[in-house]
Structure 1
Amino acid sequence: MRDVDLIALAGLLHDIGKFRQRTGKKDLDDHDMTFALCNEQKCSYIHAAHTSKAIEEMGLVGIENLVEIASSHHENNLNDDKKIIQLADRYASAERKEGESSNFKKTKLMSIFSEVALCNENEEFFFPVQKFTSNIAYPNREKEDSQAQEKYQRLYNDFKKDAENLQLNFNKEDNFLEFLKIKSLLEKYTTFIPSSSYRSYPDVSLFDHLLLTSALSVALKTNKDKFYLIQGDFTSIQSFIFSKFGESNKFLAKILRAKSLFVSLSTEYIALKICKLLQIPPTNIVLSAGGKFTIIAPKYEKVKVNNKEFTFDEFIEYIKDEINKQFATINYLQTKFALTFIEEKYEHLQYNNKIFEKEKNLHCQNRPYNASCVFWNLAKSFEEEKLKFDSNIEVFEDYIEEFKSKEKCDICGIVPTTEKIDDIYICKFCKKFKEIGEKFTKKKYIQIDLSKDLIDAFDFVNDIQNHNLIYFSMDENDNFAYKRVANYVPLIEDENDKRYKLIEEKFDERLKKGDVKSFYHIAVEGLKEEDDGFYGRKYLAILKADVDNLGQIFIYGFKKGKNEKNDYIPIKRVKNEKIFDEATFSRIMSLSRFTDFYFTSILKKKIKEEKEEYKNIYTVFAGGDDLFLIGHYEEIIALHKELIIDFKKFTQNSDFHLSYAIKFISANVPIMQMAEFAEEDLNKAKDFNKNNSVIFGIKVSNEEVLELYALEDEFKKMDYLSESFLYKVYTFIDMQQTLIFLQNMQNVNSQVLIENARWKALFNYYLKNSVKDKNKLEQERKWNEALQIADWIEKWGEKLKIPLNLYLYSKRKYKKD
């Protein structure tokens, strides 16, 4: 076993005893107790003794010196690897600010969202003791759990079983896959355990602390003063996934999802390859979400690749060039990978919550330098990298010449090709994505071969075939290295569904049970069956969303002011008060991981398992803070309602919200172009203020849209109203809006003003002629009920078109044959 792997593993397990200690177990032997630092009065660090016992119970006692290095970090006068773990633990513990004394065995993990505030005061919410899976219970206000010890016992017993069944074996030269397996194991079982809860705030999980300690230990082993932070990110992800030049929607459902998966896997591939070339474990990848990663790397003077030595900046340029050369063949550099690094001091990670003046630069000039500054400098370096001119880009000299003998791909519209499938031209890359889209839904593992180029590096298999390759399970319940991807796509369940006959013959792919549904199948399967036919519209909807102000949240969210009463004030409301900065590396890691978790796990479960009404929603992309879904419009609307409410329950923080754009489209309209329109609507939703939705091109707040959705049900109760009258309601809405506009203008034509002022009289006239019932009492009831539509017009204006459109869509009828 390499020395670097030993120090990494010791860092990963150095505080695992805190998990075991909370179970109440007392079965520590004399060897374990040597790490507890006992004197005649008491033992100061019992959890270190439990670390020794836990490593034994995980089946790792055969690794020489592991127990001693992992368990000794509280002793005095340490040296060598034990001293490294001690230093790494101190740097990684920077978040521990003093709080109230508490019963650490009962204290629950404070939600990281409770530590963040921009405009509103944050409140404290706590997650229950549980596994980190999509089935998690959301946080509540109870700080302690009287049943915590019993829960920890059950959790630890499951942890031991899974560790035993993993058969972890680090006694070899290449332990890459073993580290990925133990990382997934620890994330699953230690995410909801506070890393510290006695005299300190329990807001950072044990998992984040273990991972950061391990990464810092690896870096410290090379250099005790400085380390590198590497960041990589895709640019123009949307250009890659939604190439707007293709004219065919053929195979599009499979290809879109495969491209999205490719973004996620390529990010993993590049991060893993960097670790492999630097000869550090993959646990040094401390952040990975939404097409972006951050790696803590040792400060190497030289890096050797293929018998050639590079300085570190030359090494980063080498990796970037190699990756972008591959993108040049896939899509002619419409998408590029940006890569940068900064050099930092370990001391900048220490908790440095000193007061500083607001008017002084918030970004690390003339004030204490801490983790917030580290990440700000990394982000600044990365933005400069993205804007930098790349002189290595070559002109694609033969590109136009190729079209004399080849056709352009009908799907991506970029790559020349001669191959045809089902009468459309398809390039080798779109064909590859089509195969990925067909294959990954039917397989258990992602296989990654780092020796191959990007496009050929991934495969999907049911068995682990080569232990020299990297594997991830796509099932969170599988006891293995797990890759969290929102990979749900709807599959054909009944190939003889009558609604499929409503697909135009030229678009029908004749799919069989188990195949990925095309967008045409999704469009018709949303129709509702009645005795006399199918009702609804064969419309898809695109839902695009992202978290509002997330950049500001990461930069400013942990900064607070204190007023004269000693109360904390959110940074956006600070005037003359002093500023405190609570940002630490662990908190930033935790915030990123939990935000990504909502989209990659919780949302995926909602769509895949929880409700029948979401079975036709197709996850194109979900991760980081981004969301892109395509589905039948009624299912998208139903999910939109739930997301607005559910995300708020998850974060319990009014500064965390999403803005949404929903675009309605026909299945035979070029979806690539509609994706661009959806992006425009999302930008409209974020103009001037946030926490909005744009539907049918109309901007409404998320609170308003829930009220408007409820009005669709009110329209359904008025099924006695004729469609002709309801279409006249659009005219009345426009007249009322015009009237408001004219009343605020000078020198208005009085005739035009009078014409639009008649809308309410016209409404009453047409309503009276529309509501007919032989029963006079019933007629009067209907009349009074329908009169409220006029009130809605005055209250909502053009926003009323949202529920009215949805109601009229539902009334469209198709014959069964």
Structure 2
Amino acid sequence: MGGNGWSVGLAGLLHDIGKFSQRVGNEQRWRHEEFTETFLKAFSDKLGNEAEKVLQLAATSHQQVTERDGLCVKLADWLASAERQRRQQPQIAPERTALIAIPSQVQLKKALSLPAYLPLRRLTFSGRDFFPTDQRQVLPEDYRRAWDAFAETLRQLPSPVPFRVWLTLLQVFTHAIPSATPWEREPEKRTVPDISLFHHARLTAAIATCLAQSDLTERELISLRDVLSGFDEPDFLERLKGDELASKKPICLLLRGDVAGIQSWLYRIARAEGELHRRTAKRLRSRSFYLVLLTQAIAEWLCRKANVPPCNILFCGGGVFDLLLPARGELEQWRKELNEWLFSEFFGDLPINMAWMKLTAADFYDFGSVRQKIASALEQSKSQPAAEIRDKPKFWFHEVAEICRYCDTTPFADPTQPCKQCRQQEQLGDVLRKAGEADYLIWAWDEARQALGSYEVIEFSGLSCSVAIVSEERAKDIVKAWDGKGELVIAKRNDPKDWWKPLNWDKSKPVQAAIWWAASDAPVAKRNWQAPTKHAGEEDVVVHKDEALDFDEIAALSEGSPLLGILRMDVDSLGAIFALGIEPPSPSRIAELSGRMDAFFTGWLLERCRRRTNEWQGKLSDGDERKGLVDNAFYLVYAGGDDLMVIGPWDLTLWLAWHIRNDFKRYCGDNPNMTISAGIIFVKPKFPSLTTERVKVSKPAMSALLMACGKRSTNFGSG
């Protein structure tokens, strides 16, 4: 993997890094390109053999660029900031400007309140630094503190720094830094600071990589530069649409994938005769996380096929992903390969629908329409699922000896054992619950898969990928066993501070590091406990220390009746929000909003569950056996993108819904256009009751129980 396109992409990723250092010293006399040049020279060893080229591409001013690769970077910069919003507003110096929290500025039918602003801090999920405030200016020492931490971390990284590590580094340290600020003298030309430096840089890198692999000639790129440079002219959009090259020539394509059948597959778990209740619950826990891994693996596989870096994954969550790819490639063949492999693994339960459309330069200035078109194309593709393999005899006929009694799906010869899929999911459930043994998520591609050895792994054989969840000790053993071939990514669980340290375990090997954002969690006992609902002679009477609670035991944490609360929530009218709620709907602005939504569900939800558990435990009497039993009373089935599903003690789950609603309101700066709906059901803690049909997000009336607490939520009664 790699090549010229990647070095162009890295230049795109770092092209605005000078804005970060420029604001530290309040040096507005010089262009930010000069600060970019100074930074890249100071850290040239981190760029490896590409240092000179990246420096040349990233630090040259727009109008001075004439060679092809430099044009790709500069055009990508302009396209990523297409439809940059300008309006009359107070002039603020760049080093004092805070980033507007873009969810606070979504507008549909209701009038907007004042913007909310993000604190200038490294990425964290602590409440004080995670939520926006009304402070529109930051302090000079905020930039100094952020820069010092960024530079110190970078100095500790071995050289050269891989692309994925640069990407994560920028996410941690520049997610709350505005890409552009209202410094202009003319009030009507002042830029709205609502796009982070990270999201702008990431999209610039993605576009630059695609342009570098396009068939656009140097002359055509210069012509595009001349057209796009007139952005401030009153008739710019009219001239853009009338230009043959800008409106007709594809420069990249947008691909959307959707793994179908997720909901039915997730809950289609049979309980084989004699199987322990805890074991069945364990497989349900692992299935939701398995789907997260599968979706990510498919998105990464497609990027590897197209030879583009991970920044080209614009979004990935909930079984859906958006990719920006070069305007050429064997997409039909790749889709066929994917569906053939998925059919061999899941026998038609999890096919993938894919749609794509070629994008011109003009499309980036009307990206709301692009999103509507790709959504329509994907819906059309769903009318012909797995069309590429329906002419295969195995699609219609398959010799079956036995059906796995654990999932009632997979043909399997031995009726006494789980199939390969169920066995993998059980192993995944085992390791996820073990304290200290699930600190790292390891992605191994191609030859690197051999380094995982005998560890319990999830095999995505058709994608040439294996995944392991291991302790730090085992992760170090895997790095030691790796011969440096293929690709090995070590992702630290929910740790934006020390995620990079695996890079120093063996500096002679090109290990990559990242952050594993894990919203999945389950209640784990801190000591042996027998729930009052369990009786001698029953299976699995005692939950042992470091073992996950089953559904009976979670229900026993409730006050009163031992019932489970099953909660589902999602953001209202998200499609309309992306199509109509952000103006103008530029690609950077859409990326900014989707990233902020995902951060709330993927990052904050787990923190909220633990805080609610601590509040509840603090009110229990010292003699209550539940006190100090768990750090988290909730089982997070899934969370990410714009929705969640949580199972917990019925009374705590009600309060959790109330807290999440208030947190979301605060996160969106009390914007009345950004709301979240919920559905909740109470059930007896037996596995057959846990069906998705009974827990649907509520859109109509609000229950009396939560009406006083906030946004609409319906209680469907007990079962």
Q: Deviations over 1:597-655 (max 9, x none)?
A: 11100111122466423722001110111211111112211211211211111112112
Aligned to 1:727: none
Q: How much does 1:454 deviate?
A: 5.6
Aligned to 2:642: 625
Aligned to 1:473: 492
Letter in 1 for 2:312: N
Whole-Å separation in 1 of the counterparts to 2:79 and 2:395: 52
> Which of residues 508, 512, 516 is equivalent to 1:483?
516
Q: Deviations over 1:481-512 (max 9, x none)?
A: 113231222212111x2436725744427543
Aligned to 1:235: 260
> Which of residues 504, 518, 527 is equivalent to 1:494?
527
Aligned to 1:577: none
Q: Does structure 1 retain, via aligned residues, the 8 Å contact 2:181–2:191?
A: yes
Deviates more, 1:634-643 or 1:239-248: 239-248
Q: Does structure 1 retain, via aligned residues, the 8 Å contact 2:638–2:644?
A: yes
Aligned to 2:135: 142
Using structure 2 for the length normalisation, give the TM-score. Answer: 0.78
Aligned to 2:682: 664
Aligned to 1:812: none
Whole-Å separation in 1 of the counterparts to 2:348 and 2:150: 45
Q: Deviations over 1:415-450 (max 9, x none)?
A: 244557xxx752221111010111134222222234
User: SS where residue 155 of structure 1 aligns?
Assistant: helix
Q: Does structure 2 retain, via aligned residues, the 8 Å contact 1:239–1:335?
A: no
Gaps of 5+ in 2: 183-189, 217-248, 447-460, 501-512, 617-630
Letter in 2 for 1:15: D
CA gap 1:125/1:322 in 2 versus in 1, 3 angstroms = same
Whole-Å separation in 2 of the counterparts to 1:637 and 1:128: 31
Using structure 1 for the length normalisation, give the TM-score. Answer: 0.69
Aligned to 1:647: 664
Aligned to 1:22: 23
Gaps of 5+ in 1: 27-41, 171-177, 301-311, 351-369, 528-534, 559-580, 694-698, 710-798, 810-817
> Which of residues 543, 566, 569 is equivalent to 1:545?
569
CA gap 1:706/1:346 in 2 versus in 1, 3 angstroms = closer
Whole-Å separation in 2 of the counterparts to 1:399 and 1:97: 57
Q: How much does 1:25 deviate?
A: 6.6
User: SS where residue 166 of structure 1 aligns?
Assistant: coil
Q: Does structure 2 retain, via aligned residues, the 8 Å contact 1:117–1:655?
A: yes
What is the 5 A alignment of 1:249-260?
A: 249-260=277-288
Aligned to 1:457: 466
Whole-Å separation in 1 of the counterparts to 2:711 and 2:180: 43
Whole-Å separation in 2 of the counterparts to 1:221 and 1:708: 49
What is the 5 A alignment of 1:444-593?
A: 444-451=439-446, 452-453=461-462, 457-461=466-470, 462=472, 463=475, 464-465=478-479, 466=482, 467=484, 468-471=486-489, 472-477=491-496, 478-479=499-500, 480-495=513-528, 497-499=529-531, 502=534, 505-508=537-540, 510-524=542-556, 526-527=557-558, 536-558=560-582, 582-593=584-595
Q: Deviations over 1:665-718 (max 9, x none)?
A: 12224144x332113xx2xx22xx4xx65xxxxx56964455999xxxxxxxxx
Q: Does structure 2 retain, via aligned residues, the 8 Å contact 1:246–1:414?
A: no
User: SS where residue 24 of structure 2 aligns?
Assistant: coil
Whole-Å separation in 1 of the counterparts to 2:298 and 2:281: 26
CA gap 1:504/1:84 in 2 versus in 1, 3 angstroms = farther
Q: How much does 1:95 deviate?
A: 3.9
Aligned to 2:628: none
Aligned-residue Cα RMSD (Å) equals 2.9
User: SS where residue 453 of structure 1 aligns?
Assistant: helix
Q: How much does 1:399 deviate?
A: 7.4
What is the 5 A alignment of 1:99-248?
A: 99=87, 100=89, 101-123=91-113, 124-135=115-126, 136-145=129-138, 147=139, 149-169=140-160, 178-198=162-182, 199-223=190-214, 224=216, 225=249, 226-243=251-268
Q: Does structure 2 retain, via aligned residues, the 8 Å contact 1:57–1:160?
A: no
Letter in 1 for 2:280: L
Deviates more, 1:71-80 or 1:447-456: 447-456
Aligned to 1:281: 309
Q: Deviations over 1:727-754 (max 9, x none)?
A: xxxxxxxxxxxxxxxxxxxxxxxxxxxx
Q: Does structure 2 retain, via aligned residues, the 8 Å contact 1:9–1:214?
A: yes
Letter in 2 for 1:237: I
Letter in 1 for 2:552: Y
Aligned to 1:11: 12
Letter in 2 for 1:93: S
Report how many residues are paired.
607
Whole-Å separation in 1 of the counterparts to 2:309 and 2:109: 40
Whole-Å separation in 1 of the counterparts to 2:280 and 2:109: 42
CA gap 1:454/1:493 in 2 versus in 1, 3 angstroms = farther
User: SS where residue 315 of structure 2 aligns?
Assistant: strand
Letter in 1 for 2:677: S
Whole-Å separation in 2 of the counterparts to 1:499 and 1:701: 28
CA gap 1:214/1:701 in 2 versus in 1, 3 angstroms = farther
Q: How much does 1:401 deviate?
A: 5.7
Whole-Å separation in 2 of the counterparts to 1:67 and 1:169: 14
Aligned to 2:625: none
Aligned to 2:35: 50
Q: How much does 1:545 deviate?
A: 1.4
* Rg larger for: 1
CA gap 1:202/1:549 in 2 versus in 1, 3 angstroms = same
Aligned to 2:53: 65
> Which of residues 347, 350, 356 is equivalent to 1:335?
350
Letter in 2 for 1:488: D
Deviates more, 1:260-269 or 1:472-481: 472-481
Whole-Å separation in 2 of the counterparts to 1:707 and 1:17: 43
Whole-Å separation in 2 of the counterparts to 1:219 and 1:400: 42
Whole-Å separation in 1 of the counterparts to 2:130 and 2:155: 27
Whole-Å separation in 1 of the counterparts to 2:465 and 2:304: 18
User: SS where residue 673 of structure 2 aligns?
Assistant: coil
Letter in 2 for 1:294: D
Q: How much does 1:456 deviate?
A: 6.9
Whole-Å separation in 2 of the counterparts to 1:641 and 1:91: 41
What is the 5 A alignment of 1:588-737?
A: 588-608=590-610, 611-612=613-614, 613=616, 615-652=632-669, 653-672=671-690, 674-679=691-696, 682=697, 685-686=698-699, 689=700, 699=703, 703-704=707-708
Aligned to 1:740: none
Q: How much does 1:295 deviate?
A: 1.5
Whole-Å separation in 1 of the counterparts to 2:269 and 2:533: 29
Whole-Å separation in 2 of the counterparts to 1:597 and 1:707: 21
User: SS where residue 449 of structure 1 aligns?
Assistant: strand
Q: Percent identity?
A: 25
Whole-Å separation in 2 of the counterparts to 1:258 and 1:416: 21
Whole-Å separation in 2 of the counterparts to 1:414 and 1:211: 41
User: SS where residue 267 of structure 1 aligns?
Assistant: helix
Aligned to 2:236: none
